[in-house]
């Protein structure tokens, strides 16, 4: 049948199982939006900014495992997607960005709202297309989904000139995608797996590092948990890997890297074997790369061959999907007895006891005597703190962990609150942690939480943990939350400052603190939320925290809780710039 290219685009989206798209209409995208009227099964979420749209698509993809779709017009509309596309590229999130473009005859003539979005986004997308031949539109869309959702996943942009979108073509819904030069299917190297299995058998001090690739690979978290339990290998978790291995599991060491757990960083530094699964050895994970795991052989399992030995030399590389590789390791270990390593596990337990995260367990000296008093239960007062004093951020998030439980989806913005959430809000299930890790995008959290809530359709609660700096970058999406009836619960950790920047200035810039104060000029966030029709409450005393969080949890729709936390509290541990993870400042 003959239909417009714009209609063919949406028919292709339907065939790919797309139920939701995020975006904002504009002149060059009008043919697309005009066609969308005839596709009632595809829900469109009208965001207040294109950056909000692409972050919402990211949150949708991260929460559901599906491809997120965003639509924008040409020029400024497309350019406003750039930050989100770069973020998705860094964090391997499958996104399809469909952008309108000026008519073909106007391209290159500095037409109104023209921008070379193909050239702009080439370094920050997995691939991009400019559709100049209307007959290729359907095939191009099929290729875009195939590229975005296979191999190492990522964003793909499809730029469609306005006159192309309006052209009528014969529509054929082909299921087969043929591409020269792109071969995401990798034949597993059985010999490499055998070598890795032998190394796992012989290791005396092994540690696993669980990365975001485990979360992205269906079935991998359960397979990896079984493997590590059988081999009794402790696991450190990257920030992208949170939820890939249960944080409450006895073998879990918690996060590693710049703000990682002392025990996790010490275990990696002293290991004789590191099993890295779906982790790309980013600088925030490794610290000074030349001093990362200096005594260890490294088994690196990754779906992207380009990541092997890119940042840290790998002795035993295995290219493949995490679930496929772990399953192959399982098969080869099926009849083998497991080596016991009691001394290694005892050493790790000693590190955990010596320097836990703040308030997790009593710190004791060699004789077993408590050397510092910890809070009396999650959110309890510390010595010298009264119940009417402002709560510490760590106390708030300890209570969040209890009140919201392990099944809620936690989205964060970027900064101190992000690190504290990673420390204290334990994630035991995959796709329950959504945060901007590689790019570190302030303003990511609110629209990402919106997208997650749209994706899970009320089956899980969605909690945003944000700071007053990040929140003000995309707070206009409160309007989208109301209009789309997304029940996002917002926990605003309000300390009146760009907290992590201030911490870095205090620690590493000789205490030259400037241009980080947000108190002057910030809105009353509770009144702001209410102006959108969202209920909001504010607390500034420790004794109010639990009741307020329970009210946030129990509210049926969206709600904002503004917690006035202690201003000067810092995130520890922290690795100084250029230092090794073992050089972390602990307190």
Burial (CB count within 10 angstroms: exposed 0-12, middle 13-18, buried 19+), residue 265: buried
The architecture that CATH gives domain 384-564 is: 3-Layer(aba) Sandwich (3.40)
Strand, coil or helix: 479: helix
Q: Confirm whether pTM is higher than 0.85.
A: yes
- Angle of helix 322-333 relative to helix 190-202, nearest 10 degrees, comes to 60
Query: Quick one: pLDDT at residue 370?
Result: 43
Its sign, for the CA torsion 163, 168, 170, 175, is positive
CA distance linking residue 457 with residue 202, whole number of Å = 47
Residue 568: CB atoms within 10 Å: 10
Query: Quick one: pLDDT at residue 1?
Result: 82
Query: Quick one: pLDDT at residue 173?
Result: 78
Q: Running DSSP on this structure, what letter comes out for residue 289?
A: G
CB 310 within 8 A of CB 282: no
Burial (CB count within 10 angstroms: exposed 0-12, middle 13-18, buried 19+), residue 372: exposed
Nearest to 138 by CA among 100, 169, 161: 169
Query: Quick one: pLDDT at residue 441?
Result: 97
Where in the chain are all domains bearing CATH 3.40.50.1220? 190-353
CB 29 within 8 A of CB 73: yes
Counting every residue written for the chain, the total comes to 587
Token pair belonging to 468: 């007053």
Main-chain dihedrals φ then ψ at residue 299, nearest 5 degrees = -95, 120
Per-residue pLDDT of the chain (587 residues; tens, 9 = 90+): 899 999 999 999 999 999 999 999 999 999 999 999 999 999 999 999 999 999 999 999 999 999 999 999 999 999 999 999 999 999 999 999 999 999 999 999 999 999 999 999 999 999 999 999 999 999 999 999 999 999 999 999 999 999 999 999 998 877 778 788 888 888 999 999 999 999 999 999 999 999 999 999 999 999 999 999 999 999 999 999 999 999 999 999 999 999 999 999 999 999 999 999 999 999 999 999 999 999 999 999 999 999 999 999 999 999 999 999 999 999 998 766 677 889 999 999 999 988 887 766 444 444 444 444 444 467 888 888 899 999 999 999 999 999 999 999 999 999 999 999 999 999 999 999 999 999 999 999 999 999 999 999 999 999 999 999 999 999 999 999 999 999 999 999 999 999 899 999 999 999 999 999 999 999 999 999 999 999 999 999 999 999 999 999 999 999 999 999 998 899 999 999 999 999 999 88
Query: Quick one: pLDDT at residue 383?
Result: 81
Q: Classify domain 2-170 at the CATH topology level.
A: Rossmann fold (3.40.50)
Query: Quick one: pLDDT at residue 243?
Result: 96
Where in the chain are all domains bearing CATH 3.40.50.970? 2-170, 384-564
Q: Classify domain 190-353 at the CATH topology level.
A: Rossmann fold (3.40.50)
Bridge partners (DSSP) listed for residue 464: 411, 490
Nearest to 114 by CA among 15, 52, 27, 24: 27
């Amino acid at each position: 049948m003959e239909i417009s290219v714009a209609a063919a685009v949406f028919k292709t989206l339907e065939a790919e199982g797309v139920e939701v798209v995020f975006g904002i209409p504009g002149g060059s995208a009008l043919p697309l939006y005009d066609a969308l009227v005839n596709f009632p099964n595809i829900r469109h979420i009208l965001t207040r900014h294109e950056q909000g749209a692409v972050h919402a698509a990211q949150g949708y993809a991260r929460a559901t495992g599906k491809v997120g779709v965003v639509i924008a017009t040409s020029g400024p509309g497309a350019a406003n997607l750039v930050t989100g596309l770069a973020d998705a590229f860094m964090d391997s999130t499958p996104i399809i960005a469909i952008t309108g473009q000026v008519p073909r005859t106007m391209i290159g003539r500095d037409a109104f709202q023209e921008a070379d979005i193909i050239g702009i986004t080439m370094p920050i997308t997995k691939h991009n297309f400019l559709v100049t031949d209307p007959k290729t539109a359907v095939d191009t869309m099929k290729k875009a989904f195939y590229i975005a959702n296979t191999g190492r996943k990522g964003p793909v942009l499809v730029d469609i000139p306005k006159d192309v979108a309006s052209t009528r073509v014969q529509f054929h819904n082909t299921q087969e995608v043929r591409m020269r030069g792109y071969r995401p299917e990798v034949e597993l190297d059985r010999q490499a797996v055998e070598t890795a299995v032998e190394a796992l058998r012989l290791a005396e001090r092994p540690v696993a590092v669980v990365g975001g690739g485990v979360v992205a690979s269906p079935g991998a978290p359960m397979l990896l948990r079984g493997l590590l339990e059988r081999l009794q290998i402790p696991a450190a978790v990257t920030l992208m890997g949170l939820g890939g291995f249960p944080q409450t599991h006895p073998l879990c060491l918690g996060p590693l890297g710049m703000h990682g757990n002392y025990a996790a960083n010490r275990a990696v530094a002293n290991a004789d074997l590191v099993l890295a699964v779906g982790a790309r050895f980013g600088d925030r994970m490794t610290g000074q790369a030349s001093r990362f795991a200096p005594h260890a052989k490294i088994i690196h399992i990754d779906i992207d061959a380009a990541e092997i030995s890119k940042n840290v030399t790998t002795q035993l590389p295995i290219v493949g999907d995490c679930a496929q590789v772990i399953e192959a390791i399982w098969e080869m270990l099926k009849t083998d007895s497991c080596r016991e390593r009691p001394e290694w596990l005892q050493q790790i337990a000693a590190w955990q006891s010596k320097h836990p995260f703040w308030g997790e367990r009593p710190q004791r000296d060699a004789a077993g005597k408590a050397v510092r008093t910890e809070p009396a239960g999650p959110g309890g007062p510390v010595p010298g703190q009264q119940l009417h004093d402002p709560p510490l951020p760590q106390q708030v998030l300890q209570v969040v962990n209890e009140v919201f439980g392990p099944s809620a989806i936690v989205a964060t913005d970027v900064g101190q609150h992000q690190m504290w959430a990673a420390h204290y809000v334990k994630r035991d299930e995959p796709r329950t942690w959504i945060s901007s890790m590689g790019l570190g995008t302030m303003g990511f959290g609110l629209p990402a939480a919106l997208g997650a809530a749209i994706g899970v359709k009320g089956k899980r609660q969605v909690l945003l943990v944000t700071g007053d700096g990040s929140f003000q970058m995309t707070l206009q999406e409160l309007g989208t939350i109301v209009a789309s009836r997304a029940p996002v619960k917002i926990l605003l950790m309000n300390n009146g400052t760009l907290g992590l920047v201030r911490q870095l200035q205090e620690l590493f810039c000789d205490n030259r603190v400037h241009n980080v104060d947000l108190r002057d000029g910030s809105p009353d966030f509770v009144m702001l939320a209410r102006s959108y029709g969202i209920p909001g409450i504010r607390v500034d005393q420790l004794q109010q925290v639990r009741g307020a969080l329970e009210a946030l949890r129990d509210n049926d729709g969206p709600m904002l809780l503004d917690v006035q936390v202690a201003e000067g509290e810092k995130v520890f541990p922290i690795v100084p710039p250029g230092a090794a993870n073992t050089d972390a400042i602990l307190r």
